[in-house]
Every structure is written in C-alpha cells, then in structure tokens.
Amino acid sequence: MTTKKCVAVIGASGYAGAELVRLISGHPHVTLNLITSRQYAGQSYENVFPAFTGCMNLSCEHFRSDEAIQKADIFFLALPHKTSMNIAAPLLDAGKKVVDLSADFRFKNQSMYETYYQSHEAPHWLRKAVYGLSEVNKEEISTAQIIGNPGCYPTSILLPLIPLLKEKLIDSTGIIADSKSGVSGAGRSLSLGTLYCEVNEGFTAYKVAEHRHEPEINENLSLAAGENVQVLFVPHLIPMSRGIVSTIYARSQASEVKLRECLCEAYKNCSFVRVLPDGRMPNAAHVRGTNYCDIGIKYSREKGMAVIVSTIDNLIKGAAGQAIQNMNIMMGFSETDGIDAIPFPV
C-alpha cells in the first residue's frame, strides 16, 4: 500500500470549499492536511460548518505559502477571482499541482479574461493551464500542473454541446442556453438576494446576456466547433439549494436518434455522463449529491430545433466534484475515486 498524498483546500469557508473538504475526507488516496480561511482562521472547521462535527478535526489557518508548501502536494483553491492567481503562482513555482476553482486559469485567451475580470498577474501560468472539463480534456489534464476548473453553468452547457458541435449536428449560430441554478451557486457570503425569504417561493432571471460565464462558454464551444460560437446565455435562480438545469436550444437538421447517438458515443467510456433514453428528461434532484451530468434530448422536426436539457449538482460536477475528478486524472487514480456516490432516491 502506498502512502496517501497530502492535499490542501485554500479557501475552505465557502460552499465549494466545504464540498472539497467533504469529498477529500472520503477519498481513498489522499489526506487533507491543510485548510485555510481568512475569515475563520484559528477556528475549528466544525465551528464553520457544524455538519462536520466529529468528522473533521482540522482548524482553519491563515494561508502562508511557505508553510503551505511544506504541508501538501496538491492544492485546491476555492477563492475569489484575482486572489486565486496570486496564491497559485508560488505554489506552482514550487512544483505543486493546483486545481483552481476560480475563473483565473480558465481562459486560453488572456485578453478575454481581462475584459470580463481584471488584468492577469500570472500570465505565464495561465498559458500552461488546462481547462478542467474532465471528460473533454482528459488527456491534457493527465499531464497538467495547473487546472482551471470550469464554472458550474459552463460545465452543464459544454458537456452536451461540444460533441454535437464537433460532429456538426447542430448549427453553431443562434444557440440559446436558458439555465437555472439553485441558490448555493451564489455562495455563502451575506447578501440580501440570498436570504431565505427573498428566494423562497420566487423565481427570477438575472444578468441576462451579461453573465461572466458566457465568454467562458463561448471560448470552449468555439474551440470545439473550430469556428466562432456565441451563445445567448440567460441564468435564473431556482428556490432550492443545489443543482443546475440548462435547457439548450440549437437549430439542427439531425434526427433525435442521431443527436442521442452522438452523445452516447462521445461519453460511452465516461462514468459521470448519463445520456437519457428517448422520452426522459433529467431532473436536478436525480444528480444531487453526485458527480453526474444527466442529458436529455428532444428534437422538433417541425421547428428544426434540438432541445437539450442537462443537469448537474452545481457544487459537485459544477465545482468540487469535478475538481476531485481532475485530481484523480492528474494523479493517475481511478477517475471515480472519492466521487462515486450513488444518487439519493429522494
């Protein structure tokens, strides 16, 4: 039996950070050796997330890169944009593997990143970063040192669309992604908009055609299609904690059978993508707590439109779970290690 690798979660006080902690705690090949939080430094982690009482005896520390380098081999960064790149650079310089959950290492096109976020302060590492859409970029991920872990909405949209665009089964223009997310996607920071009473029994669109996940989606679809793809992306907030459902509209001349076959073929060796049979549409509840992405397809011949519906748990396949999946690929572990939970029936 080999020694377990030591890992760190930098920025463990948000929901994605906490899911990383949970998943790492159950992972067979790694040990959690460091968790950091600026806000909760010095506090026991079960104080930050009482659900973990008795399951986790680490306390939050302030991040100091010299200490961190001593404590872990693999780093998960669950930090705000900008903070992340500055913390990643010294870790990477020291030869550590990094999976970054912010947007800082997601873009191939630095100027696109800088248009939507801010100037990049570690462009050298940005150029080496691999976009961690596990099923699509598996080979590059396996040899990467730094992964830009995909956004939650992009994951739900890219997984169904990339194979279809590659095979030219859908038009590359006029694609619409009408996405709906549970509230945990907004994070654990205090804001009026995420108070219980403001969300409960409501439903609304936000940042219509203005969300920063749109350029991330477009860059990756364009790469897949070999031409410029510009999706119209409209996110909404669902009154539930976890889960994203993306309903995607694309013009197509293919049949429903062909569209389904294409996705089945693309993901036939992928444990976490479930292409649903004819007549079934995915439900966010059926992937909750798991790393699955479920995809349903309906083709309207009359309208010449494909309707593709995908769902993920935004905190798992849309964040922490895919980050672990990427680590598994990088480290040569089995791809499902630590993220093989079976969905709850209810």
Distance in angstroms between the alpha carbons of the first and the last residue of the chain? 37
Q: At closest approach, how far in Å is the CB of 183 from its own copies?
A: 4
Among 6, 89, 264, 285, interactor with its own copies by CB under 8 A:
285
189 φ/ψ angles, rounded to the nearest 5 degrees? -70, 155
Closest CB to its own copies among 90 and 239?
A: 239
Q: Does 243 bind its own copies (CB under 8 A)?
A: yes
Among 3, 95, 268, 346, interactor with its own copies by CB under 8 A:
346
Report d(CA 224, CA 246) in Å as an integer: 19
Per-residue interface string for the shown chain with its own copies, residues 2-31, x marking contact by CB under 8 A: -------------x--xx-xx--xx-----
CA-to-CA separations, 71 to 18, 23, 153, 206, 305, in angstroms, rounded: 19, 19, 33, 41, 53
Q: Does 283 bind its own copies (CB under 8 A)?
A: yes
CA-based diameter of the chain, in Å? 63
Q: Does 148 bind its own copies (CB under 8 A)?
A: no
Q: Collect all residues with Cβ–Cβ distance below 8 Å to 326 and sequence separation of at least 6.
A: 99, 132, 134, 141, 147, 149
Report d(CA 274, CA 82) in Å as an integer: 34
Which residues in the 310-339 window bind its own copies by CB under 8 A? 311, 315
Q: Which residues are part of the catalytic machinery?
A: 152
Amino acid letter at 115?
T
Q: At closest approach, how far in Å is the CB of 306 from its own copies?
A: 10
168 φ/ψ angles, rounded to the nearest 5 degrees? 55, 40
Among 188, 264, 331, 336, interactor with its own copies by CB under 8 A:
188
Q: Does 238 bind its own copies (CB under 8 A)?
A: yes
Q: Does 305 bind its own copies (CB under 8 A)?
A: yes
CA-to-CA separations, 145 to 15, 43, 87, 148, 320, in angstroms, rounded: 25, 31, 15, 10, 18
Q: At closest approach, how far in Å is the CB of 127 from its own copies?
A: 28
Report d(CA 199, CA 195) in Å as an integer: 6
- Total residues interacting with its own copies, rule: CB under 8 A: 84
CA-to-CA separations, 275 to 259, 260, 279, in angstroms, rounded: 10, 7, 12
Which residues in the 193-232 window bind its own copies by CB under 8 A? 194-206, 208-209, 230, 232
Per-residue interface string for the shown chain with its own copies, residues 156-175, x marking contact by CB under 8 A: ------------------x-
Q: At closest approach, how far in Å is the CB of 39 from its own copies?
A: 11
Per-residue interface string for the shown chain with its own copies, residues 51-90, x marking contact by CB under 8 A: xxxxxx----------------------------------
